[in-house]
Amino acid sequence: MKRKQQHTLALAFAVLITAPLFAQLNNPKYEFGLNLGFTVYQGDLTPERLGSFKTQKLAWGLHASRLLSPSFAVRGNFLRGRLKGDDALYSAPEYRQQRNFNFSTPVTELTGQLVWNPLHRNYTDRGFSPYFFAGAGLAFLNIKRDWSGLNTAYFDPETSSVFSGLAADSTHAVPRMIPVIPLGAGVRYYFTPRLGLNAETSYRLGYTDYLDGFSESANPSRKDHYLNYSIGIVYRTGKKDRLKCPKIRY
């Protein structure tokens, strides 16, 4: 009888030790998503500090994540959109419509990101969870710039940097590829253990002043950037803990 009790206690102890590990191994492992939104240019051809919402363009994206723990995941992100800026859309300050620079470019972006869930809800079946992310990658561009609408009579060649700057800009090659650092935040809501919705906003540090094709003739001290806003659907897959064992949190 005593030996039977010992075996029972040993079995119970083994279950308690291995249950968290079993739950850890049987949590969802992957998350996939499709997003739709818009991109916003921020640079020399707009006076708006938060970017040119007058020229926002549709964008879409795909992402795939590997869930590492209740709090962290790594994500690969693909974004396809356009950027546009146009001086003529702004009546103040007055010189913008006289300078009349504009540009457009498609954007194809590939980035890797680390995603942090501060509420440790990566494995939660249902409900809301916020998240933050940062990463690095590349953006591929095909910039078309236009200064043909410049009112040369408005600017004084002796005091304005527009003419000398434009001479320098016109001989400067526009980038075809730039490094980017995405920084952002979002929220997701799972209404089943596998299917949910998400919304996020992100800011792209671009490290170039030629995203719009102009620098010396506009504002050479200020780099150009862009933003992305999106909503989408997410699908979570991989094994799930069917025994509802307790989970390890990091």
Does residue 93 form part of some domain? yes
> Does residue 17 form part of some domain?
no
pLDDT of 218 strictly over 60 = yes
In a domain, 163, yes or no: yes
pLDDT tens per residue across span 41-59: 999 999 988 899 999 999 9
Share of the chain above pLDDT 70, in %: 85
Mean pLDDT of 180-196: 96
* Residue 178 within any structural domain of the chain: yes
Domain carrying residue 113: 29-237
User: Residue 171 is part of a domain; what is its CATH number?
Assistant: 2.40.160.20
Q: Where are the alpha helices (DSSP H) in 147-222?
A: 162-170
3-state secondary structure of 170: helix
pLDDT per residue as tens digits for the range 61-82: 999 999 999 999 999 999 999 9
> For the chain, how many structural domains are there in total?
1
Q: Note whether residue 102 is domain-resident.
A: yes
The residue among 175 and 1 whose pLDDT is bigger is 175
Nearest-10 Cα torsion for 243, 25, 200, 177: -160
Report if residue 91 sits inside a domain.
Answer: yes
Residue 245 belongs to some domain of the structure: no
Q: Is the pLDDT of residue 230 over 90?
A: yes
Q: Return the closest-CA partner of residue 216 out of 173, 179, 162.
A: 162
Which residue matches tokens 């434009």? 166
Average pLDDT, the chain: 88
Structure tokens at 4: 């039977």
Query: What is the pLDDT, as a whole number, of residue 242?
Result: 52
Residue 18 is assigned to a structural domain of this protein: no
